[in-house]
Amino acid sequence: IHGFKGHGTEDGSVESILAMSEDLAEYGVTAFHPTLYSSVEEKFLEDIKAIKEAMGKEKGAKILGMHLEGPFVSPNKIGVQKPETIHTVDLDFMNRLWEAAEGKIVNMTVAPEIKGMRELALDCLKKGIVLQAGHTDAMYENMVEGMQAGILHSTHLFNAMSQLHHRNPGAVGAVLIHPEMSCEIIADGVHVHRDLFKLLQRDKPTDKIVLVTDALRPTEQMEGTLYANKEEVVLEGGCFHRKVDGVIAGSALTMIQGVKNLVDFGMSIEDAVRCASSNPAQIMHHVNKGLLIPGRDADVVVFDKHFNVLMSIIGGEIKKNII
């Protein structure tokens, strides 16, 4: 998640991150990874440090670490990221990012095909970072090499990656073919056609599917000019578009709406909830999260049959209660 209700990770502000925490709890989110797009180094380090400083000060959803959506991605699949922020593999740069985060980078999106990726992957795995293929123009063979190096998760499947082709299965094909690969998916009905969720459920074990919102800064912002990644956007057809050219800029999805959408797309409510709770907790190695069993954190969300959030409990503390 990049932002919520007018606050975003690109603000470089502890206050913005903490505001996201409070607001997300109202929408039934108990924990999250603030996600950063690539930036020029000085700005990148500033944004990373803001997230790190916010950790432990939350009044709402807990910050479990951060997700870097770059900078080691394909210049051909950057989406709305800025070309000047995309970086070739540089282990010294990676170490500067790691040091700024004080070890709180939990996951990172990378393009398996770029030169030096194996060395970067091995370095990140030593640090305990979960690597996920995304913003990638990889050939199928590149994806297989990436899996062998430990890149076993994928960022918003079907979006910003090489597509399935009968002569080159690409990144999408690799994720679908290999059962060990897990994947994120944006369930807003815009980024991915609803019927592709049926294919995904037939193809992947349920515990390999993670619901993400990929929500941008103006998600649920009710007034004022809308900005995401420092560009003005407009909300049309259920997602944000850059005002300057109409290109899709990102999602306006909330997590509870995503769960509802999965059910509407044909998934059982039990599996839909797993995609938003135990699955990401397991894949991201958050051993105290995701299940309501003795010894795990008491993170509970209560919602009604219409998917209205009635109660949020985080670490045993009631953060919202309208029952």
- pLDDT: which is higher, 168 or 80: 168
Residue 183: inside a domain: yes
Residue 291, pLDDT > 90, answer yes
Other C-beta atoms closer than 10 Å to the C-beta of 208 total 22
Other C-beta atoms closer than 10 Å to the C-beta of 233 total 25
Residue 221: inside a domain: yes
Residue 312: inside a domain: no
Specify the pLDDT at position 230. 87
pTM attached to this predicted model: 0.96
Cβ pair 154, 181 in contact under 8 A: yes
CATH code of the domain in which 42 resides: 3.20.20.140
Residue 157: inside a domain: yes
Lowest-confidence region among 71-75, 91-95, 228-232, 275-279: 228-232
Q: Which domain holds residue 57?
A: 3-294
State the average pLDDT over residues 63-77. Answer: 98
- pLDDT: which is higher, 238 or 278: 278
What is the rounded distance in angstroms from the CA atom of residue 207 to the CA atom of residue 128?
A: 21
Share of the chain above pLDDT 90, in %: 95
Q: Which residues are CB-neighbours of 186 under 8 A, at least 6 positions away?
A: 156, 159, 192, 212, 213, 214, 251, 253, 258
- Residue 120's identity, in one-letter code, is L
Q: For residue 205, give the 3-state DSSP assignment.
A: coil
- Give 124-130 contacts, CB < 8 A, sequence gap 24+: 124/94, 124/150, 125/150, 127/98, 127/103, 128/285, 129/105, 130/106, 130/283, 130/284, 130/285
Specify the pLDDT at position 223. 84
Q: How confident is the model at residue 247 (pLDDT cuts 50, 70, 90)?
A: confident
Residue 125, pLDDT > 90, answer yes
What is the rounded distance in angstroms from the CA atom of residue 104 to the CA atom of residue 55?
A: 9
What is the rounded distance in angstroms from the CA atom of residue 199 to the CA atom of residue 36?
A: 30
Residue 301: inside a domain: no
Residue 224, pLDDT > 90, answer no
Residue 283: inside a domain: yes
Residue 321: inside a domain: no
Picking from 101, 188, 115, 186, the residue whose alpha carbon sits closest to that of residue 146 is 115
Mean pLDDT score across all residues of the chain? 97
Residue 310: inside a domain: no
Share of the chain above pLDDT 70, in %: 100
What is the rounded distance in angstroms from the CA atom of residue 187 to the CA atom of residue 168?
A: 26
Q: For residue 302, give the 3-state DSSP assignment.
A: strand
Residue 222, pLDDT > 90, answer no
- pLDDT: which is higher, 214 or 229: 214
Lowest-confidence region among 26-40, 243-257, 301-315: 243-257
- pLDDT: which is higher, 126 or 249: 126
What is the rounded distance in angstroms from the CA atom of residue 217 to the CA atom of residue 114?
A: 29
Specify the pLDDT at position 74. 98
Q: In whole angstroms, how far apart are CA 249 and each of 93, 130, 309?
A: 27, 25, 27
Residue 316, pLDDT > 90, answer yes
State the average pLDDT over residues 11-20. Answer: 98
Q: 306: burial class by Cβ within 10 Å (0-12, 13-18, 19+)?
A: exposed
DSSP secondary structure letters along 33-91: --EEE---HHHHHHHHHHHHHHTT--SSSEE--EEEE-SSS-TTS-TTS-GGG-----H
**Total of domains in the chain:** 1
